[in-house]
Amino acid sequence: MRVPYSWLREYCAPGLEIEELADLLALRTTEVERILRVGPPSSDAFVVGRVLSVERHPDADRLSVCEVETGESTRTIVCGAPNVAAGQLVPVALPGAVMPGGEELGRAKLRGVTSDGMILSEAELQMGEDEDGIAVLESTPAPGTPLDELLPFAEQVLELEVSSNRVDCFGVYGVAREVHAFTGAPLAPAPWEEDAEAEGTGQASDYASVKVEVPELCPRFTARVFTDVTIGPSPLWLKALLVAAGQRPINNVVDITNYAMLLTSQPLHAFDLDRVPDGALIIRTAADSERMTTLDGVERTFDAESVLVCDRNGPSGIAGIMGGQVSEVSDSTTAVLLEVATWNGVNILRTSRRLGLRSEASNRFEKQLHPDLTMYAQRVASRLMVELCGAKLVPGTIDVAADPPPPRVVTLRAGRAEALLGMRIEPELCAAYLERLGFAVEREDDALTAEVPPHRYYDVGREADLIEEVGRIHGYDEHLPATLPHASSRGGRLTREQVLRRRAEDVLRDSGYDAIVTLSLVDPALPGRLRLPDGDLRAAPIRVSNPLSVEHSELRTTLLGSLLDVARYNLARGAERVALFESGRVYVAEGESVAGGPLGGEFAGERPAPAFEAHCLAALAVGSLRAPSWRDPARPNDFFALKGVLDALAAQLGVELVLEPEAHPFLHPGRAARVLVAGDEAGWLGEVHPLVCREWDLDRATAFQLHLAELIAASPYGAEHYEDVTTYPAVHQDLAIVVDEDVPAARVRGAVLAGGGDLLRSAAIFDLYRGEQVGEGRKSLALRLEFRAPDRTLTDEEVAGRREAIKNTLGEIGGTLRE
Amino acid sequence: MPDVQGRIEELRREGEEAIASASDAAALEEARVRYLGRKAELTQILRGIAELPAAERGPVGSSANQLREALEASIAGRGAEIQAGELERELRAEAVDVTLPGSPVAPRGSRNLLIRTMREIEDVFVGLGYRVMEGPEVELDYYNFTALNHPPGHPARMAQDTFYVDPESLDAALRIEPAPTRPSEEVSGPALPPGPEDVVLRTHTSPMQVRSMEAAEPPIMIIVPGRCYRSDPFDATHSPIFHQVEGLAVGESITLADLKGTLDEFARAIFGPERETRFRPGFFPFTEPSVEVDVSCFRCGGSGELADGSRDPLCKGIGWIEILGSGMVDPNVYGFVADRGYDPERIQGFAFGMGIERIAMLKHGVPDLRKFFDNDVRVLEQFR
């Protein structure tokens, strides 16, 4: 909403620089987007001139040499406009004037003749679009009169970002009322208090009729009739005002409707009455797929919820949004029907959204206007119709109205305001603020009853709403103290899951992996690129019905895709290696978490979440993680490199992970595993399938993804119990075990642990050997064992006994000890 | 009769000299054998004490023993000196080129600035007594709009550019029965038929306000960090996917002034100890009064001007930067959890919501929101 400051000052003049006023508006009412300047930066050196004579320029056909009286002097001005004529009163810029573009006007020689100033067109004043001719002033000011006494042409304009509840501030008078409320500067009487004299013939109902078929969507429809209308351009002051307010001047009638809307916030629409058969208007909903061409020349198709203003032949306008061409006011119009209606805001919003058509009118109607505003706008417009178009107002207003909304009276307890705001506002101040805002206030002790005025009817209905009114006008910035709540009966802390999620993320970061954050809306092609087959839940993502683009139309079912994207992005930009992880959610239609909780997709609230969202931790490495140095070569980032990271993660959480070979469509079939935590599946680890790597232009990549809820649920963190490991020494032994090649290491270790019994506290594989010494098809695994008893020093005999037992359990899997 | 005492003194001189001049372990051992060995003269003297006249035995024995102890001490001392010297030589031989680069330690990863900012904000509010809750991103229209006082047809719910979820892509068994809608006390205009019970991608973290109040009676003090979605195309300050932190504090006497004090604390923790906030009127359907919150500019200190007198581009010369929207929880919102002890005549409180991307951009001068989602490692490395 653009508010020219001079227009605002007509109704409330706070005596402030515009910057000060903008600050106050922002702090008391609504956001101020910026302060604009329309026209030249200063009105200095712009005056009224009288053209005394016009002669053809001796050396240029299109130029005239004019003698112009500008007050005390007469000066020669060269002018290019075809319509300049002796006797005209015109706007003149004298040398030294700063033009709207910022350049200073000097004396210029035009084809040998010195021009001592410039006669201005509307476009040059930024007051209109007419570039061809000079602006001719209608009234009869004396030559030399400063131009700003006639026209708001060097205008400062406030551009407000009005919040959607404040439809009153979509009108200049509404903004003036706010300025009045927070500065106390007097407010001029409302411009609609006086109506025009009705001097036309007959009654409005003799000329026109209105039938509202949908009263719930059109609570009020008023119409006035004007005869003897002369269509023409608006006077310069009106054009200037509209331009400053961001509107294009069209003709006097249309400009009047815009002026009245900008002043009252109630939109209006003018019909050429002679083009409405019998003056009969019908307000109805559209037939499905009904069509009409709007004023902008576009043919539009409606659905059954759109409300149309129709004449006998069909639609002539979309209610509250835009008129049609059939009964548009034109140069030949002599009778005008002025429609001022109230529409159902939600219906207007829906139709405007569906059509993709917004207008100044729909922007106001969609916020819901009170029916009383219709007559405000009728009165403002009627006076101008009479004044500017020579029109005669026909007596009577056609007024089809449903029952008006009941009066709304709200009580404000001063104590309640203080309790909610934490600042005290004296009851007499509360009353004063509300009265300035247009509420009718009655006071009883510390309680006020306030009747809500029409312009605030749909925004204010409860005590809390009144508290906001008095609080903001009083001024949060000046009066609101800063305190802290003292009501909490609980301390703040992170949950165990939140602490351990941070720990898990930190382990990966400390292992050299960069934490990334990627977009969770992905391309439908992703499951295919990851080779996920139909029937896999991850290949059936949750879809957005109204995506912005196909690339972001489905929720990710795995973190792998975005990890691959980011890897490729960075490799393409010169990174030699990338190690990435993301801690975030994946989304599928159904699923369940054994562990539950927010990380497992179980959230607070009575209604369950409509999808299954599990928090995952996923990592991807491409290239050697550690840069080669002069001492160490680079190490390949293969399955075991990443498994080492997984092991570190498990160790930091105190969780035992079990890996079992398992094929995944997107992983190398021989280098892929599923990860089990406490017997439950919790994710996967593997080298990315070469075909998937190729999709992302990668040579080789390794990745894992884990469900955090399960991982964290299995962690003993916080419940660890002290164990005496220092009083009695441990005994260490190394074993070399030869088994067949196809016996997995985990089975060998399992056999060792089984044979070792309680005394065997750990068994770690530290070497793998294949070669002549163990024979074809066999391998040798070296394990380091630690035996310990909590209550005694172990004897050699005890350890030797365990070793024998291990020999036996190894025998069961075909393993032998290399002595 | 030889002068045994005199000989002992001679041996002392000779022995000390031989020990002192021994330059390595071998020479020292040679000296030890010569003066303290089995065949050494001093040893002979000690053995021959019994043969001396009775009057000499005591003094000679005493002197000889003293000498032996003295020489032993000297040998030990000299031995330590020689060892130290040898170690010194060995170490010198092991000298390295200290200018070669060190062995790289296992590299430490960096962290997307959004994660770091989110944690910083969480920690500030945990310190102020808040718990951290999380909620679903695929959310019911009921929580995202209806229960937040956006009745069906409310302009604000259309203004939010919502992504709707295709119901066919959801599990039929998880689809929810239409929730009851509640008349909003006629404040939002003429009555309208209720809208469809849609599933949306949450447009803000605010749905957790109602979920959390359903789950616990007052008082409640929580923050809710998380991902949100709006169908805003990408540009420097918009993304269809972004992050918010919601705050909710509801009790018997929590005031707008408490919100101001809380956000002052937050602003100081995140933007610096001199910061303050200011409230401007705002509009959100689920708070009343509603306020927009600015923080005093941390570049210019609130003056709007830089040290050289030029206009501060960060706050555009205003001295204040908008950081979040907030307000007192609207009584209509409590109406949806009235059966959990939320009676607006008895309890009250505030809610706020801030964009993490915006906070991180402001604090660290990130010019374009899209940088967060590029995850360029050269950028990530700047924020460990």
Spatial strand order in the sheet of A447-451:
A409-413, A447-451, A440-444
Confidence of residue B180 (pLDDT cuts 50, 70, 90): very low
The tokens for A723 are: 């164990």
CB contact under 8 A, B137 and A27: no
Which of A28, A420, A510 lies at the smallest CB-CB distance from B281?
Answer: A28
The alpha-carbon gap from B365 to the nearest alpha carbon of chain A, in Å, equals: 19
Burial of A777 (0-12, 13-18, 19+ CB in 10 A): exposed
Identify whether the C-beta of residue B332 lies closer than 8 Å to the C-beta of residue B213: no
Give whole-number Cα distances, B139 to A130, A256, A598, A648, in Å. 54, 48, 14, 36
Mean pLDDT for the stretch of residues B286-313: 91
Show the tokens assigned to A435. Answer: 């009265």
Other Cβ atoms closer than 10 A to A474: 21
- Using CA coordinates, name the residue in chain A closest to B373: A518
Give the count of beta carbons closer than 10 Å to the beta carbon of residue A633: 9
Say yes or no for a CB contact (<8 Å) between A546 and B163: yes
User: Which of B127, B131, B288 lies at the smallest CB-CB distance from A465?
Assistant: B288
- How many angstroms separate the CA atoms of A433 and A442, rounded? 13
Across the interface, whether the CB atoms of B291 and A461 are under 8 A apart is answered no
CB pairs under 8 A between A and B: 350
Is there a contact between B138 and A611 if contact means CB atoms under 8 Å apart? yes
- Residue A148: predicted pLDDT: 82
CA–CA dist A392, A403 (Å, integer): 30
Would you call A346 and B109 a contact, using CB atoms and an 8 Å cutoff?
no
Q: Express each pLDDT in B138-168 by its tens digit.
A: 999 999 999 999 877 776 676 668 899 998 8
Does A520 reach chain B within 8 Å, measured CB to CB?
yes
CA distance A700 to A175: 65
Mutate to test the interface with A, among B117, B121, B149, B165 (most CBs of A within 10 A): B165
Using CA coordinates, name the residue in chain A closest to B134. Answer: A598
Closest-approach residue (CA) in chain A for B380: A514
The answer to whether A49 and A143 are in contact (CB under 8 A) is: yes
- Closest by alpha carbon to A64, among A80, A87, A83? A80
pTM of the model: 0.86
Give the model's pLDDT for residue A674: 96
Which H helix or E strand runs over A392?
strand A392-393
Residue B328 touches chain A, beta carbons under 8 Å:
yes
Q: Which long-range contacts (CB under 8 A, 24 or more apart) does A210-213 make?
A: A210/A281, A210/A282, A210/A283, A210/A398, A210/A400, A211/A280, A211/A281, A211/A282, A211/A283, A211/A400, A212/A283, A212/A400, A213/A282, A213/A283, A213/A284, A213/A285
Asked whether the CA dihedral B103, B106, B112, B113 is positive or negative, the reply is: negative
Q: Give A 306-345 residues with CB within 8 A of chain B.
A: 344-345
3-state secondary structure A422-453: CCCCCHHHHHHHHHHCCCEEEEECCEEEEECC
- A462–B179 CB contact, under 8 Å: no
Rounded Cα–Cα distance for residues A125 and A100 (Å)? 7
Two tokens at A741?
């090649």
Q: How does DSSP assign B182-218, residue by residue?
A: ---TTTTSS--------EEE-SSSTHHHHHHHHHSPS
CB contact under 8 A, A632 and B199: no
| Closest chain A CA to residue B264 | A482
Which three-class secondary structure state does DSSP give residue B249?
strand
Q: Which residues pair with A441 in a beta bridge?
A: A450
Angle between helices A18-28 and A172-183 (to 10 degrees): 90
Among residues 208-247 of chain A, which lie with CB inside 8 Å of chain B?
216, 219
Mutate to test the interface with B, among A606, A630, A631, A642 (most CBs of B within 10 A): A606
Q: Tell me which residue in A461, A477, A514 faces B109 most closely, judged by beta carbons.
A: A514
Burial class (CB in 10 A: 0-12, 13-18, 19+), A697: exposed
In this prediction, residue A644 carries a pLDDT of 92
Q: Strand ranges (DSSP E) for A598-723?
A: 612-622, 657-661, 667-677, 680-688, 702-707
Cross-chain Cβ contact A521/B229 below 8 Å? yes
| Any B CB within 8 A of A356 CB | no
In Å, how far from its chain's centre is CA A783?
A: 61
Residues of A in contact with B185 (CB under 8 A): 461-462
- Contact: B212, A26; criterion CB under 8 Å: no
Spatial distance between the Cα atoms of B145 and B340, rounded to a whole number of angstroms: 20
Q: Searching chain A, which residue's CA lies closest to the CA of residue B151?
A: A346
The one-letter amino acid at A724: D
- Hey, is A593 helix, strand or coil? coil
Q: Is A542 on the interface with B (CB under 8 A)?
A: yes
Looking at residues B214-225, what average pLDDT do you find? 95
For chain B, say whether A491 makes contact (Cβ under 8 Å).
yes
Question: Does residue A539 sit at the B interface (CB-CB below 8 Å)?
Answer: no
Give the whole-angstrom CA distance, residue B260 versus residue A477.
Answer: 10
8 A C-beta contact, residue A190 and residue A376 = yes
Cβ–Cβ below 8 Å for A605 and B215:
yes
Mutate one of A29, A462, A514, A556 to test the B interface: name it (highest B CB count within 10 A). A514
Mark yes or no for CB contact B106/A366 under 8 Å: no
B95: CB partners within 8 A, 6+ apart:
none
Which pLDDT tens digit goes with each residue over B38-82?
A: 888 888 888 888 888 888 888 888 888 999 999 999 999 999 999
Query: Tokens in use for B73?
Result: 């001490």
Distance to chain A for B87, nearest Cα, Å: 27
Q: Least CB-CB distance to B109: which of A468, A508, A543?
A: A508
Which residues in chain A touch residue B291, judged by CB atoms under 8 angstroms apart?
A: 476
Contacts of B210 in chain A (CB under 8 A): 605
> By the 8 A CB rule, do A375 and A192 touch?
yes
In B134-153, the residues whose Cβ lies within 8 Å of chain A are: 134-140, 142-143, 153
Asked if A494 has any chain B CB less than 8 Å from its own CB, the reply is yes
Cα–Cα dist B353/B327, whole Å:
10
Q: Which residues of A568-600 are buried (b: 16+ CB within 10 A; e: fewer)?
A: bbbbeeeeebbbbbbbbbbbbbebebbbebbbb
Q: Note whether A144 and A70 are within 8 A (CB).
A: yes
Tokens 């293969």 correspond to A638
Q: Which stretches in chain A have pLDDT values below 50?
A: none
Q: Give the tokens for residue A805.
A: 């037992």
